[in-house]
Chain A
Amino acid sequence: MENSGDKKELSVIRLWDADYHTLLTKKYLNRKPYVPQNEKQILSFMPGTVQKVLVQEGQQVKRGDTLLILESMKMMNRVRSNVDGVVKKIQVTPGESIPKNYPMIELE
């Protein structure tokens, strides 16, 4: 193998109760660990600029309510709540540029 980033020495990979000696690929080593979805923590689905925050801390929100406007890909995207709850914390301010998966609003 002359794959640039691969590990060159043998590792052990456990499959169906048996240990196999083998090389691991860069792609396998870099695979993303699974993070369960937390609907109470609103993350940005894309990088963008926060245009407007439409709720306040302590406010009661219902499933489907628009929480804020995130400008991304030249679109004004309404970010809605997936659950009923109370706004616990607002973690962004209008005008702020944020990356993908950035925590914006926390509900409880």
Chain B
Amino acid sequence: MDLKDKILELQRRREIAAKGGGDKAIEKQLSMGKLTARDRINALLDPDSFHEYDLFVQHDAKDFGMDKKELHGDGVIVGTGTINGRPISIFAQDFTVVGGSLGRMHAGKITKIMDHALKMRMPLIGINDSGGARIQEGVNSLAGYGEIFFRNTLASGVIPQISVILGPCAGGAVYSPALTDWVFVVDKISKMFITGPEVIKSVLGEEISQEELGGARVHAEITGNAHFFARSEQECFEQIKKLLSFIPWNNEEKAPRAVPKPPKAEYDIEKIVPVDPKEPYDVRDVIKAIVDDSDFFEVQELWAANAVIGFGRINGETVGFVANQPLVLAGVLDVDSSDKIARFIRYCDAFNIPIVTLVDLPGYLPGIDQEHMGVIRHGAKILYSYSEATVPKITIILRKAYGGGYIAMGSRHLRSDFVFAWPTAEIAVMGPEGAANIIFKKEIAEAPDPEAMRKEKVKEYTEKFANPFVAASKGYIDSVIAPFETRKYIAHAIEVSVNKDAGLPRKKHGIPPF
């Protein structure tokens, strides 16, 4: 054999291995409306940038006839490439090879690329499409999952970790995505659950479809396990690329700077927020009136919509936005929205992204179900996250900021660096109606016309306390600003915070109210 033959032989081997489970299995994958693992990688990465490793890895299982089976690539494709010219590590499970089931060598390929991503301080993208553990490999398969979870945890907060669920992801397998930063799902394709419909039926007698139990919509709307919901794989890949444009490549870097652009003229910040604190509006319009090009990239849009989180840019710099949403449930905090906000704050803090908080909430949602679900513990996560975050923190009180909600939403007392308030802000222990009913209970009850007296006292309280100036007089608010000045004040606050050094006491780690 001369060199030419050897190269031909290599090409032949590559071609066979690249076919994964073969033509029939590929056809089946396509008929389910899914791309093949290889096509997914190529669709996501820059053209011709993907370089594959461990293509010729083979499993070493001997039991149950496995010694006679050759599984190309052992059911997973791994490698490196670039997205928008920046380096990235990726693995994609290949469902055409025994259902993308995870055995020892399959897991070994994944952990090898994870180690590489961590060492090279670059993001890791994992495309999940697997029937689960390879039963024939027994405990070796479980060991594989454990090794992946351990690395997910070590890499957390160091490099961005993205999980893309493009098929089933069931049993222990779902814990890897759950440990990563961002979970992307696609309608009708993604399925995630710990125990599937068959087990639930046999044990509990309850019947449910895979889609209803753990489909994309369920995780995007009800559980909050997913952060981004797409209607097609292509849309999902666009979302991933967009997310990556906002975030830094590791925890020692800053997010890439974009060309500064003004917000679009159609978003007039003075025309969005009604003065009456009981009237709704879409807080996302306020964000769009503030950020570059009115481009706001929302995270967890469908889950806990009474809070809004996401990324935008101010003068080209990435900013993480946290806002109450008066349009949904009056913008109250509750169990879900507390989880949503707290985790996002910790993400921004870990990756050097300044946090801008827009406040307009009546408080925490009252209710037996909320109390029994542990709103105390969940609500405390917001306090913890804001207090612990050392990135620049800028808070703007748009309208109402009552009671515990005022403290929680990035208040001065949790060490926000800048607290601004619009003239429409009402910073008080509670709303005027509730406060007047308590403070003037006797006067109202004893008045000849209690209703008239109540109205008068509400008006009196509103005039005296429902404004930003009481808090400003104590120095809890740094400046009362006109809405149109908001972008300017945020931009300046970020500019003068570049060298922020907020020393925290030395500790191994805190004990957050998980």
Using a CB–CB distance below 8 Å, which chain A residues touch chain B?
1-4, 6, 10, 13, 15-28, 31-32, 34, 46-47, 72-74, 97, 99-100
- Please state if B305 and A24 are interface contacts (CB–CB under 8 Å): no
Q: Which residues of B contact A24 (CB under 8 A)?
A: 328-329
Q: A1-B328, A46-B204 are in contact. Are A10 and B280 (CB under 8 A)?
A: yes
B contact residues around A18 at 8 Å (CB): 278, 362, 431-434
- The distance in angstroms between the C-alpha atoms of A72 and B206, with both chains bound, is 13
Q: With A27-B336, A32-B369, A97-B205 given, is the CB distance from A16 to B330 under 8 Å? A: no
Contact A27 B204 (CB under 8 A): no
B395 at the interface (CB under 8 A from A): no
Pairwise interchain contact A20-B204, C-beta atoms closer than 8 A: no
A27 and B367 alpha carbons, distance in the complex (Å): 13
- Do the beta carbons of B366 and A17 come within 8 Å of each other? no
A67 to B442, CA, bound (A): 55
Interface string of B424-451 (1 = CB under 8 A from A): 0000001111100100000000000000
Q: Is B279 an interface residue (CB 8 A)?
A: yes
User: Is there a chain A Cβ closer than 8 Å to B203's Cβ?
Assistant: yes
Question: Which residues of chain A come closer than 8 Å to B366, judged between CB atoms?
Answer: 15
Given contacts A15-B362, A28-B329, A31-B367, contact A21 B306 (CB under 8 A): no
**B329 pairs with A22, CB closer than 8 A:** yes
Is B326 an interface position by the 8 A CB rule?
A: yes
Pick the contact of A4 from B217, B369, B433 — CB < 8 Å?
A: B217
Residue of B nearest to A3 (CB): B302
Which of B326, B328, B336, B363 has the most A CB atoms < 10 Å from its CB? B328
Q: Contacts A31-B367, A31-B369 hold; do A19 and B278 have CB atoms under 8 A apart? A: yes
Is there an interface contact between B205 and A25, defined as CB atoms closer than 8 Å?
no
Q: Point out the residue from A20, A26, A31 that lies within 8 Å of B278, measured CB to CB.
A: A20
Number of A-B residue pairs at CB separation under 8 A: 85
Nearest Cβ on chain A to B284's Cβ, whole angstroms: 10
Pairs A-B, 8 closest by C-beta atoms? A16-B434, A20-B330, A17-B433, A34-B368, A22-B330, A17-B434, A18-B433, A47-B204
Measured CB to CB, the closest approach of chain A to B363, in angstroms, equals 7
Chain A residues near B332: list those with CB within 8 A. 15
Shortest distance from the beta carbon of A37 to any chain B beta carbon, whole Å = 12
CA distance A26 to B222 in the complex (A): 9
* Whole-angstrom CA separation of A25 from B329 in the bound complex: 7
Residue B295 at the chain A interface, CB threshold 8 Å: no
- Sampled A-B contacts (25; CB under 8 Å): A1-B327, A1-B328, A2-B301, A2-B302, A3-B302, A4-B217, A6-B305, A13-B329, A15-B365, A15-B431, A16-B430, A16-B433, A18-B278, A20-B362, A22-B328, A23-B280, A23-B327, A23-B328, A25-B328, A26-B221, A28-B329, A31-B367, A46-B204, A99-B205, A100-B204
- A73 to B434 Cα, complex, angstroms: 49
Interface centre among A3, A19, A74, A97 (most CB of B within 10 A): A3
Closest to B371 in A: A34
Chain A residues touching B, majority SS: loop
Question: In the complex, A97→B203 CA distance in Å?
Answer: 11
- Residue of B222, B278, B301, B372 near A21 (CB, 8 A) is B278
Contacts of A20 in B (CB 8 A): 278, 280, 326, 330, 362
Given contacts A22-B280, A23-B280, contact A13 B330 (CB under 8 A): yes
Contacts A16-B434, A19-B278, A31-B367 hold; do A4 and B221 have CB atoms under 8 A apart? yes
Complex CA–CA separation, A34 to B332 (angstroms): 21
Bound together, the chains give a CA A24 to CA B326 distance in angstroms of: 11
**In the complex, chain B residues whose CB is within 8 Å of the CB of A31:** 367, 369
CB atoms of B368 and A16 under 8 A apart = no
Known: A1-B305, A1-B328, A28-B329. A16 touches B205 (CB 8 A): no
Instruction: State A6–B327 Cα separation when bound (angstroms).
Output: 12
* Closest chain B CB from A71 CB (angstroms): 11
User: A25–B278 Cα gap in the complex (Å)?
Assistant: 18
A22-B327 contact in complex given A1-B305, A16-B434, A17-B437, C-beta closer than 8 Å: yes
Query: Within the assembled complex, what's the spacing in Å between the Cα atoms of A24 and B325?
Result: 12
> Could you mark each residue 363-396 of chain B with 1 if its beta carbon is under 8 Å from any beta carbon of chain A, else 0?
1011111001000000000000000000000000
- A95: min CB distance to chain B, Å: 14
Instruction: Give every chain A residue within 8 A of B221 (Cβ-Cβ).
Output: 3-4, 26
Q: Which residues of A contact B206 (CB under 8 A)?
A: 47, 99
- Judging by beta carbons under 8 Å apart, are B369 and A16 in contact? no
Complex interface: chain A residues within 8 A of B279 (CB)? 21
CA distance A21 to B279 in the complex (A): 6
CB distance from B455 to the nearest CB of A (A): 12
Question: Which residues of B in the span 189-245 have a Cβ within 8 Å of any Cβ on A?
Answer: 203-206, 217, 221-222
Contacts of B368 in A (CB 8 A): 34
Nearest to B366 among chain A residues (CB) is: A15
Residues of B within 8 A of A1 (CB): 305, 327-328
Q: Which of B245-294 contact A (CB under 8 A)?
A: 278-280
Q: Which residues of the partner chain A approach B367 to less than 8 Å between Cβ atoms?
A: 31
CB neighbours (8 Å) of A100 from chain B are 204
Task: Determine the distance from Cα of A6 to Cα of B328 in the docked complex, in whole angstroms.
Answer: 10
Cα–Cα distance between A61 and B488 once the two chains are bound (Å): 74
Alpha-carbon distance between A20 and B5 when the two chains are bound, in angstroms: 78
Q: Are B205 and A47 in contact (CB under 8 A)?
A: yes
